Amino acid sequence: MRCVICGGKIEKKKVTFSYEQKNRYLFVKNVPAEVCTNCEEKTYSPEVTDELLKFVNDEFLPVKTIKVPIFDFMTR
Ligand SMILES: [Zn+2]
């Protein structure tokens, strides 16, 4: 199997999925994905994508919550 973007080699890996929308941010660790060894493009299977939506829709409890500093380049 080859990367759809660059034609590079694909490897199965556990990755951290990050989500950002408006003022909401979340990370999901240890997500199984296929990652291009060349451009690092991540591809999730339809099953995994379905599960990721559940995290976004608050169907699971987070394992931990961290404080994240937010900066604005225009306010420095
Ligand atoms: Zn690629």
Above pLDDT 70, what percent of the chain? 100
22: left (phi over 0), alpha (psi -120 to 50) or beta: left
pTM: 0.82
**What is the Å distance from ligand 1's center to 10 Cα?**
8
* Domain spans in the chain, listed from the N-terminal domain onward: 10-75
At 20, the amino acid letter reads E
Which residue would you say has higher pLDDT here, 1 or 48? 48
**What is the Å distance from ligand 1's center to 22 Cα?**
29
Which residue would you say has higher pLDDT here, 52 or 24? 52
User: What fold, for 10-75?
Assistant: Ubiquitin-like (UB roll) (3.10.20)
**What is the Å distance from ligand 1's center to 23 Cα?**
30
**What is the Å distance from ligand 1's center to 15 Cα?**
16
**What is the Å distance from ligand 1's center to 5 Cα?**
5
Please say if the pLDDT value at position 1 is more than 90. Answer: no
